């Protein structure tokens, strides 16, 4: 057992953090088989990130955000991307987490568009290397990120917007029991055009003990658990 590991009274592992109480930067860890870790994106992730994006181009491109005509250009290098995200993280407007599975780079989950004041709101985006799909990694990673936002960053509402055709991503919110709250026609520029999205959201009141606890107690599928 790791020195900082926490086990609840029923013997289930709960998420641990490297610096309790700090929103960013931080490292989150959960699970045993596999171990899922969320940590800040770093410049030295360049090779692993490029390799994953190259190998998964066909798997990811239908769901990737694109720049509409007349929009601001996206970063042209990984170094520029990391610099931009790190600057936004210092301002507290985004938390760009890398997902590791048993220590291997597996994808990203990002908390974006953080709004404070009376809203205390943010949105969640994610992608995973296809070789790690189907192992329950992404629902766990999203649950960890949301719980961190609720209990450490003190946000109130997290939203996930998904194209209706993206069945893999839809399965993530289904497994976490996150309810659908709306539909947004031509909401985001994805894969070269404006695309409709289904909107899912969860508030702290809906998950008072967190999404990770909900996921574990449901055996990995909160959508199948009795309400």
Average pLDDT of the chain is 91
Q: What percent of the chain has pLDDT over 90?
A: 83
| Range in 9-23, 35-49, 138-152 with the lowest mean pLDDT | 9-23
DSSP 158-193: EEEEE-TT-HHHHHHHHHHTPEEEEEEEEEEEETTE
Whole-structure pTM value: 0.91
- From 125, 199, 204, select the one nearest 163 (Cα to Cα): 199
Which parts of 25-136 fold into alpha helices (H)? 46-55, 57-60, 78-91
Other C-beta atoms lying within 10 Å of the C-beta of residue 20: 9
- From 118, 113, 97, 116, select the one nearest 45 (Cα to Cα): 97
Joined tokens for residue 24? 């960013």
At residue 9 the predicted structure's pLDDT band, cuts being 50, 70 and 90, is: very low
Taking residues 160-187, report their average pLDDT: 97
Tokens 């991307």, located at residue = 81
Query: What gap in Å lies between CA 91 and CA 79, rounded to an integer?
Result: 19
Query: What gap in Å lies between CA 38 and CA 40, rounded to an integer?
Result: 7
**Which of residues 130 and 227 earns the better pLDDT score?**
130
78-128 per-position pLDDT tens digit: 999 999 999 999 999 999 999 999 999 999 999 999 999 999 999 999 999
Q: Determine the distance from the C-alpha atom of residue 180 to the mean position of all C-alpha atoms in its chain, rounded to a whole number.
A: 17
Query: What gap in Å lies between CA 97 and CA 46, rounded to an integer?
Result: 14
Query: What gap in Å lies between CA 123 and CA 183, rounded to an integer?
Result: 15
Strand (E) or helix (H) holding 140: helix 137-151
177-216 per-position pLDDT tens digit: 999 999 999 999 999 999 999 999 999 999 999 999 999 9
218 phi/psi in degrees, rounded to 5: -90, 5
Strand (E) or helix (H) holding 28: strand 28-30
Other C-beta atoms lying within 10 Å of the C-beta of residue 80: 11
Other C-beta atoms lying within 10 Å of the C-beta of residue 125: 20
């Amino acid at each position: 057992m790791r020195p900082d590991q926490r086990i609840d009274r029923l013997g289930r592992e709960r998420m641990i953090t490297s610096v309790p109480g700090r929103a960013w930067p931080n490292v989150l860890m959960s699970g045993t088989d596999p171990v899922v870790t969320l940590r800040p994106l770093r410049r030295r992730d360049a090779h692993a990130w490029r390799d994953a994006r190259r190998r998964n181009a066909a798997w990811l491109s239908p769901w990737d955000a694109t720049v509409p005509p007349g929009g601001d250009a996206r970063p042209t290098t990984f170094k520029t991307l990391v610099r931009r995200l790190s600057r936004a993280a210092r301002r507290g407007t985004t938390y760009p987490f890398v997902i590791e599975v048993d220590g291997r780079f597996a994808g990203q989950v990002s908390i974006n568009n953080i709004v404070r004041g009376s809203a205390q709101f943010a949105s969640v985006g994610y992608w995973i290397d296809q070789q790690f799909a189907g192992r329950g990694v992404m629902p766990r990673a999203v649950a960890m990120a949301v719980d961190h936002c609720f209990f450490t960053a003190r946000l109130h509402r997290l939203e996930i917007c998904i194209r209706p055709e993206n069945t893999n991503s839809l399965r993530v919110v289904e497994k976490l029991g996150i309810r659908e709250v709306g539909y947004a026609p031509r909401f985001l520029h994805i894969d070269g055009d404006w695309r409709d999205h289904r909107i899912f959201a969860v508030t702290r009141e809906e998950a008072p003990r967190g999404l990770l606890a909900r996921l574990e107690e449901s055996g990995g599928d909160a959508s199948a658990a009795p309400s």
